[in-house]
Structures are given as structure tokens and as C-alpha cells.
Amino acid sequence: MSLADLTSLPGVTATPDAATHGFVFNHTMIRVRDLDVSLDFYTRVLGFTPVYKHVYAEAAFTIVYLVLVADQSVIPDDDAARKQWALSQPGVLELTHNHGTEKEPDFAYHNGNSEPRGFGHLCVSVPDVNAACARFEALGVTFQKRLSDGRMRHIAFIRDPDQYWIEILQPTPLAG
Amino acid sequence: MSLADLTSLPGVTATPDAATHGFVFNHTMIRVRDLDVSLDFYTRVLGFTPVYKHVYAEAAFTIVYLVLVADQSVIPDDDAARKQWALSQPGVLELTHNHGTEKEPDFAYHNGNSEPRGFGHLCVSVPDVNAACARFEALGVTFQKRLSDGRMRHIAFIRDPDQYWIEILQPTPLAG
């Protein structure tokens, strides 16, 4: 579908209001049961870097912002500058940890893909989906859908420690 | 907290594995009841542009990818190039519409902020949070939390047509 057709779809405002200039789709927030376990997954398995943390002691929760950058040298060193930078980037992941859930063995968050449904998944695009999935297998990552499952052989879904689904795909056509 | 302290948090892999080089946190997917209504909201109110649409006729659902860019001229014209570009960007929003839900008056998705909880919100950062919220008021947007509500006077939350929460904040300190 051409861009002209897309911007002519029912409901679509073809040219954004000038008042939205500078708006950035900054982050997506998910709640996690055990912050340490989630930080391990997102940094070790997927390559994210934490860039901001704040503990709301009175309300008993902590938030961490993470970014996925090819080069950590783009992250400002100065704390105030880094926070401002983090809030100006697209594609930030916010983890919220309500204190104590990590100590409740049966505690679980809802990933949105069974009733009641809503949120579906995050997606990390990768240069080589076959290589990425082979590495996830080697790391013992849980798959929701392997490349070989079902009819869509070009995408996979893995699950994070809270069972949220993460789509894995490559932007370019697959060889062969 | 310094970047060195952040990358020393329990669980954190300080230096991302080279195998994650080129990984991009590409998109977040949410299900929407009425695609036209959601496209109106995300393009007119927030300034997104749809860049890809695919109808899965047999499975009876449609997906649309939207981006929030300051300048639409960065979006490739060619369909294949645009799809590849969209899957390479951070901060893409994917809307999934299961056909027919728009005709069910009582149909509703779950926004994750009541039990069972999980996903929390999206966030759009804006150059001027006061101006943005005044415009949302003028447009009749539903607020979950106005700037004046509660103790956090620098952030607001609006609700999209499916009642998903969207945080609105500005990266820079607020004047006065």
C-alpha cells in the first residue's frame, strides 16, 4: 500500500497538526515481578542498557528506563543530561517493579495475550533473525514461537521472565 | 544515579554482548477495537503517520504500523523500502484490529492497569507539556491524570479510544 493510500485511510489525518511537532513516542512501560531477573534478561539477552532508575520509596515501587543502542558512548554521562536524553529518545523500555512481588512465589503479571486481552507484544528487530534465534536457543531463552513453528517462518516470538512476548524479526528479506 | 552505578545494578550485563549489535527496540503492539477510531486518535491527536498496513484475511485481522516523525519526508516512498525502514526504526506503534470487534458495542480490551495487571502505558514526550495538555483539553481528549492531579505535577496521562494510558511529559525541567 502506498504512503498516499495509507494517509488516506479512514480516520487518518494525513498531515500531522503542527502542534504535534517534536512529539516523540518515548517509551513503553511494563510491570515486572523481579527487577534483577528482568534486568538480566533485557541487558544480557537483548543488549539493553539501563539509563535511569528512580525508587519511589513511599509508594514502594522502582522504575528503570532502558535503551537499546549500538554504541553506549552516545549515552550522556551527566545524570541530568542523561535523564533528559532518555526522555527525548524513541524506543525506551520502562520496567516498573512493585516492591515485594519478587518474594511471592506465585505472583505473576498478565501478558495480555489470554483473556482479558489488550497489549500484545514488544518487538526487537535484529540484523539476522536466524543467528539471533540460534543464540537465544543457546542461552536457554523460552520461545513462544520458533521460526519453524506455524506458517510465518520469518518471525519468532520469545518470552521474557514475566512471560511478555517479544517478537524477533529482521527488516530485510530472508535469504533462501 | 551515575551510568556506572546503573550498569552495576544486580543482574545487569554492563557491556552488551556483541551479538546484540544492531538490535533495535522496534515496536509495541496493542489491540484496538475500532481501527478507524484509533487511527483518528493517533494521527490527529498525537501526530503519528501510518507507514504500513497488512490485512490477514484468513485470520481476520489487520495490522497497521505508525511512526511519530517530525518530518514526513524521511519516510521512504517505495513500499518495500518503507517496510524495511519501518522495521528498522525504534518507537514504532503497531495496532492490531481483529475484524468485527468494532461492531460489538460492549467489546472492550483490557488496558493492563486493573487486575490482572501487566502492561502499564505508552509515553509520548512533548516539547511543552502545558501546551500539549491544553491542546488535548481543547480536543476533548480523556485524561486519566491531569497535570494538576496528585503530586506529580510535571506529568499527565491521557487515554486512547481503548482506554490504554498514554503518559505525557516533557524531557526538560518545567519553568517556574
Q: Is the peptide bond before A116 cis (omega within 30 degrees of 0)?
A: yes
pLDDT digits (tens, 9 = 90+) for B118-152: 999 999 999 999 999 999 999 999 999 999 999 88
Q: Report ipTM for this prediction.
A: 0.97
Contacts of B163 (CB under 8 A, 6+ apart): B108, B109, B111
What residues does A159 pair with on adjacent strands? A165
pLDDT digits (tens, 9 = 90+) for B29-84: 999 999 999 999 999 999 999 999 999 999 999 999 999 998 999 999 999 999 99
Q: What is the pTM assigned to this prediction?
A: 0.97
- Residue A166, chain B, CB below 8 Å: the answer is no
Is A100 in contact with A35 (CB distance < 8 Å)? no
| Binding site listing of B | 94, 121, 167
Is B96 in contact with A120 (CB distance < 8 Å)? yes
The single-letter DSSP state of residue B44 is: I
3 state SS of A122: strand
Strands (DSSP E) contained in chain B are: 24-31, 49-56, 61-67, 92-98, 119-125, 143-145, 156-159, 165-169
Work out the minimum CA distance from B16 to partner chain A, whole angstroms.
5
Work out the minimum CA distance from B60 to partner chain A, whole angstroms.
15
Q: Going from the N-terminus, what domains does chain B have, and what CATH number goes with each?
A: 25-104 (3.10.180.10), 120-176 (3.30.720.110)
Chain B, 9 to 28: residues with Cβ < 8 Å from chain A are 9-17, 19-28
Q: Is the peptide bond before B76 cis (omega within 30 degrees of 0)?
A: no
- Residue B35, chain A, CB below 8 Å: the answer is yes
